[in-house]
Amino acid sequence: MISDFLQNSGVLLPTHSRVESERFGIDVARLNIPIDSPASDIQIARICNESSADILILRYPSTRNRLAQSLADLSKAQAFQADTLVYFSKDLVPITESSKTNYKWKLSIASPNDNSIIKALSQIIFQDYPNHYRSNHRLGSQSIVDGYVEWASFGLADSAKLTVIVETPDSKKIGFALVSFDENGAEIELNGVHPKFHNQGVYSVLLQMLMGYLANQKIDKLSISTQIQNTRAIRAWVKAGFNLEFSLNTFHIMPRY
């Protein structure tokens, strides 16, 4: 979540990712560098060089514009940039009755009974979704998609999170958003619309209805992220009033054999 990069824990240690390790059948670890981390580029590179994981997924603020050079000089590991992630946020304002818009699309709160439709939508929505996994030939394409399906399904089952579904006027479920919460507000973890309903304004309506719902639940801020090349989503966010917060470089660090 965005809080991983806004809160400085003071200690930088790779964390074993059980879910990703089981999904891909290799040892996967993660290392997130907060924006205000006092660690030097050399210290970060040293941690990466000593990692024993098959893949260490490193994410760090793009403002560290010299770290890539240190990663290129690792003696025990090879590193390559897998993507650049961009975070956007918007301050939410409660919607009054006079400012409500009547949409032909409907928003509903998902329940565990919607698990099959959430999994089916995820399978289609994220089939060709650009992400850092796809930059690594060691990670199978279907396993990547399965990961998004699992993420959406587990999120639906998590009572601390919210899943909403966008429906057609005749109640056909065509898209969803998974939202998590912390002291910084809310964050959309996953979201999307069935490709058959692209270019019809559905995604923009999903955002607007979700923002209105969250604002009226006293949520002050909504954040969301994607890969920098996902210009379609970014245009929709900017049109909805989201502002760029920061960007993160994602590197995959693997042992030299």
Q: Decide: 187 and 223 in contact? Cβ < 8 Å.
A: yes
Q: Residue 57's beta-bridge partner residues?
A: 30, 252
What integer pLDDT is reported at residue 96 of this predicted model?
Answer: 59
Rounded to whole angstroms, the Cα distance separating 216 from 34 reads 31
The greatest distance separating any two alpha carbons of the chain, rounded to the nearest whole angstrom, comes to 65
pLDDT tens by residue, 116-129: 999 999 999 999 89
Q: Which pLDDT does position 98 carry in this prediction?
A: 40
Q: What is the pLDDT of residue 93?
A: 85
Query: Which residues, including other chains, have CB under 8 Å from residue 232's CB and lie 6 or more apart?
Result: none
Please tell me the predicted confidence (pLDDT) of residue 61: 98
Express each pLDDT in 148-166 by its tens digit.
Answer: 999 999 999 999 999 999 9
Q: What pLDDT is attached to residue 147?
A: 95
Q: Which pLDDT belongs to residue 4?
A: 87
Low-confidence ranges of the chain (pLDDT < 70): 9, 95-102
* Block residue for tokens 């006027």: 169
CATH for 90-246, options being 3.30.1490.20, 1.10.8.60, 3.40.630.30, 1.10.1040.10: 3.40.630.30
Cβ(179)–Cβ(164) below 8 Å = yes
* Residue 198: partners with Cβ closer than 8 Å, 6 or more residues away: none
Domain boundaries, the chain: 3-85+248-255, 90-246
| pTM for the model | 0.93
* Residues 6 or more apart in contact with residue 196 via CB below 8 angstroms: 174
**pLDDT computed for residue 95 by the predictor:** 66
Contact 59, 31 (CB under 8 A): yes
